Structure 1
Amino acid sequence: MASPTVTRPVDAVTCLTVFVFLLLAIESRYVIGPLGGAGAPAQVVAVGAFGWWVCHQLQRPHAPPPALQPVRFALIAFALTLLVSYAFAMSRPIDGAESSTATLGMISLAGWMGVALLAHDGITNRGRLDQIVRRLVIGAALIGLLGVAQFFAQDALIRGFTIPGLRANLPLSDLATRSGFARPAATALHPIEFGAILTTVLPLAVATLRDSASDRKLIPALSLMAISLGIIVSGSRSALLCAVIGLLVLVATWSVRARIAVGIAMVALTAVVAMIIPGMIGSLTGLFTGFGQDGSVKSRTDSYVLVGEFVERAPWFGRGFSTFLPSYRILDNQYLLLVIEVGSVGLAAFLILLGTAFVVSWRNGRSAIRSADRNLSQALAGAVAAAALGLGTYDGLSFPTATGVLFLVLGITGALRRLVRENDLEHAASDPVPHVRTAPS
């Protein structure tokens, strides 16, 4: 008699995997028709994840034991500031366009909280956490490959694809160019968002490769290469800066030999790119030597006076999240946009959220007993740092794919802290002999 097939029950990682697939595989301009702007498939799953998390909290037979969860606390505090800002916006005279986008902003907020909180509280063990990290890395690698293909083909390559049941609420634009090179976006809305996704995942790709068994390094190595090439061909100055910051945070605790190996790998990659794509290195160098003549830089700095005028009118909770429309002005700086929309309180809450996730991961990277925990914690700190820097160069929360990746990373950060503490407590209880930690090789 054949043994029954063992099936894994649907858990948080199953839901998050579906979210990652829909987020990265389907352009965010495609929506479920009747739902309009709120109907991107990934967002529908994310909002469902929020409902799942809320139901689970309400159905608990008893309260969980008291434990400080700083990332969860910061997430909820940030959400509350946005809700207060929304209430203030709805209480003042507001036109239809702003009211509609503000409501869509609250739906997006529910999705961000759903992904982050489900990851934070729903990942039950380290094996499942590693699985969602690997799947996120592979997903980023695949859109990196698509971006590389778009770069060489000088075509979006996805124009003819349609998805039954979905409609496009935005037209697919042609590829942008810079210094004569195409700027791919893969399934993202803009090359900057494409670069932001890849630079956020880059440190996780490095950690995944380092922690893989010697006979299972092929896929992680190919994923890392695809992500790295995608960052280069994105033609984004902010992507290059964010990649450097993320890697610097990641290797901060590594041995000198490991840092030298990373330096050699970067030099080798630069040499390969110089041979395969003549003129590319000069184009990338020009991004940093022509600041004074760069119109995008001037546009950002010229916005400071305008921002000050709006902040004076509503300094504490702003004019309402998602109410400063792109038709008014594109600031290309999420922090400036936040201080207008949610005021100094909302901006502080967001900065505290990013800072909390970074500090939690950094401390995990220094104190965890297992080397795999230290490596992944440091990678998460690098991912948060890269994303935080990137948000200063574009209106990041207006781009759903990069924002979805960011909040998933924030949730994983909190989950890893919880799992590491549980593991270290179990280890301390079973092994009274102090464990001597060594620096990563």
Structure 2
Amino acid sequence: MTWARSTATAPAVTATPVPLRHPRRADGATLVCVFVMCLLILPARLAVAGLPLSLTPAEIVALSLGVVWVCAQMVRTSGVAKGPNPVRTAIFAYGMILLAVYGYATNVYLPSDELNLADHTIVLFAGYVSLALVVCDGIGRRERLDFVLKAVVIGGTFAAVVALMQFRLNFDLTEYLKIPGLRHSSPEEVPTVISRSDLRRVAGTLGHPIEFGALSAMLLPLAAHLGFQARSRGEGAVRWWICAAVIAAGLMFSVSRTAVLGMAGAGLILLIGWSNRRRIATIGAFVVFLGVMKVVAPGLLGTFYNLFAGVGDDSSIIYRTHDYPFAMREFDKSPIFGRGPGTWYPFKHQVFDNQYLLSLVETGLLGVLGFVGVIVCGIVVALRVRATSTDPNARNLGLTIAACLVIPLLGAATFDLLSFPGITSVLFLLIGAAGALLRLERADQADRLLLSSFQEPADRSRSLMAPTGNGHGSARSGSS
């Protein structure tokens, strides 16, 4: 630490040293927050003009993060973490699987349109892997990890506010978010508002209502965690409860069965891990929220009830299940490596509203095992922090991340999750956050162990110097 020198000339005056404030440098958390803002605030259909591939600003930032991570790994003064980490290992394995699948697919003949899509898909996944690595290794303090999660919640709240305006006011703010240098990612207009049962299904700034609903389900536990953490620290928690309420409303306005199923799975994990007091408070808040939704959006709760009550006759459910035999026939053609990532697209082939089926066809068994394995690794690592940490906020964050990662495991069975960059990006961000949390918790435990090893000799020496009460135990007692 550098201290300012006093310029006073009077010898009797002693100036109090004042630490000089150095400007805070940008770190991995800063770069990830830039990515989050580009991902959740800019409309998903806007891509950078003039590029041979259709890439959004967020995707370009993610690829840049990969370059930063590689450069930081080449030096020792960057502050980027090194050493073993199970999340980094899982991400590396998944990346190698995708490269192997891509190499196998491009080694055989592919039509030009499918080859271009395979190139585009592997570039996107390079960005996802880069994002997870920077989050896992580039965040040096727990406060900076909280900073990233706060940015994600704020970005999700903005998307939910846009969805609220789309649902209640029939006003789409994304149509006015036109930025020079950006263009629509596809020549046809992709609607962000879709009708279902006389209601508007909205997508906010995301690409589709299903994606927006599933993403809102992932962000709601994070907003609740920030509220609980702020209250435990004696900080203002109202703003995070407002964010949680807005995100929950956005989940409802998506009118998505996937969002409800995902939220039910995450809620079950949280209720098992929470205390009785927190369970009761959450259930009470849920009942109040449903009452507010009943008043704000008449007919919305009835629509959700009909979505689940009429599952057997729902046309969307029938459409999702009738293509299983066809998918298995395609899978049998190349069961190990698949036909190539991104090569099975809706304008040419039959749509699979199931990511597991789509991955079986595109990336084979290797791709499915890698996809499931990297998510399960994130869940296990987060639960390990939950089990080993002594910090209640870190324990709750580990439980929250595990609950959030359960949602894509469930949602992948109901829609082609990896085809939507928004929720896929947040998925990999949370996997990286699990690795960062484990690393930071290990560092804290090592610091506490080192501190206790220094304190024990000091305590022992103080006990030897302490007076015995008979006047002969020490020099201090003798002098008294």
- Tell me the TM-score normalized by structure 2: 0.86
**Contact persistence 1:105–1:322 (CA under 8 A):** yes
Task: Select the structure with the greater relative contact order (CA < 8 A; seq sep ≥ 6).
Answer: 1
Q: 1:205, 1:223 within 8 Å by CA — same for their partners in 2?
A: yes
Q: Can you list the C-alpha shifts for 1:103-141, whole angstroms capped at 9, x where unaligned? A: 001110110011100000000010101110111111111
- Is the CA contact 1:196–1:402 (under 8 Å) kept in the aligned structure 2? yes
| Equivalent in 20, 38, 45 of residue 36 of structure 2 | 20
User: Secondary structure, in 3 states, of the residue corresponding to 1:158?
Assistant: helix
CA contact (8 A) 1:38 1:107 kept: no
Name structure 2 gaps, 5 residues minimum.
1-6, 8-17, 456-480
* Alignment partner, residue 472 of structure 2: none
Aligned length: 432
Task: Report if aligned partners of 1:202, 1:246 keep a CA contact under 8 Å in 2.
Answer: no
- Aligned partner of residue 35 in structure 1, secondary structure: coil
- The residue aligned with 2:200 is 182
Partner of 2:299: 279
In the alignment, which of 40, 57, 62 is matched to residue 73 of structure 2? 57
**Residue aligning to 2:477:** none
Determine helix, strand or coil for the equivalent of 2:109: coil
Cα 1:83/1:174, change in 2 over 3 Å: closer
Q: Secondary structure at the match of 1:143?
A: helix
Find the counterpart in structure 2 of residue 439 from structure 1: none
Question: Residue 127 of structure 2: which of 105, 111, 114 is its match?
Answer: 111
Tell me if structure 1 keeps the 8 A contact 2:192–2:209.
no
Find the aligned partners of 2:417 and 2:53 in 1 and give their Cα distance: 17
Whether the aligned pair in 1 keeps the contact of 2:43 and 2:177 (CA below 8 Å) is no
* Alignment partner of 1:362 out of 379, 383, 396: 383
Q: Is the 8 A contact 1:369 1:424 kept in 2?
A: no
Give the Å deviation of 1:71. 1.0
The match for 2:177 among 161, 177, 182 is 161
**Cα separation, partners in 2 of 1:49 and 1:67, compared to 1, 3 Å:** closer
Which residues of 2 match residues 76-95 of structure 1 at below 5 A?
A: 76-95=92-111
Any idea what SS the aligned residue of 1:31 has? strand
1:61 Cα deviation from its structure 2 partner:
8.3
Q: Distance in 1 between matches of 2:306 and 2:245?
A: 24
Deviations 1:352-391 (A, max 9, x none): 1111111111121122110010011110001101122112
Runs ≥4 in structure 1, deviation > 4 angstroms? 1-5, 64-67
Q: Is contact 1:117–1:411 with CA below 8 Å preserved after alignment? A: yes
- 1:332 has 2:350 as partner: no
Residue type matched to 2:204 in 1? A
Partners in 2 of 1:187 and 1:66 — Cα distance?
Answer: 36
Query: What residue number does 2:141 align with?
Result: 125
Q: Tell me, in whole angstroms, the C-alpha distance in 2 between the residues paired with 1:260 and 1:428.
A: 37
Following superposition, the deviation at residue 169 of structure 1 comes to 2.3
Who is 1:210 aligned against? 228
Conserved? CA contact 1:23–1:42, under 8 Å:
yes
**Residue 394 in structure 1 maps to residue 394 in structure 2:** no
Distance across 1 between alignment mates of 2:76 and 2:451: 30
Residues 81 and 137, structure 2, Cα contact 8 Å, conserved in 1:
no
Q: What's the CA shift for 1:67?
A: 4.8
Write the distance in 2 (CA, Å) between the matches of 1:352 and 1:407.
12
Equivalent in the alignment of 2:340:
320
Q: TM-score, normalised on structure 1?
A: 0.94
In structure 1, C-alpha distance between the alignment counterparts of 2:448 and 2:270, rounded to whole Å: 26
Shift of 1:337: 0.8
Opposite residue 252 of structure 1, the aligned amino acid is I
Q: Offset of 1:282 from its aligned partner?
A: 0.8
State how far apart, in whole Å, the 2-side matches of 1:419 and 1:271 are: 41
Contact 2:53 2:120 in 1 (8 A): yes
Distance across 2 between alignment mates of 1:36 and 1:295: 38
Deviations 1:242-275 (A, max 9, x none): 1121122123221112111111110110111112
Q: Residue 282 of structure 2 is aligned with which of 262, 277, 300?
A: 262
Q: Partners of 2:192 and 2:243 in 1: how far apart?
A: 27
For each residue in 1:332-357, what CA deviation from the matched residue of structure 2 results, as whole angstroms up to 9, or x when unmatched? 11111111111111111111111111
From 246, 249, 259, the equivalent of 2:266 is 246
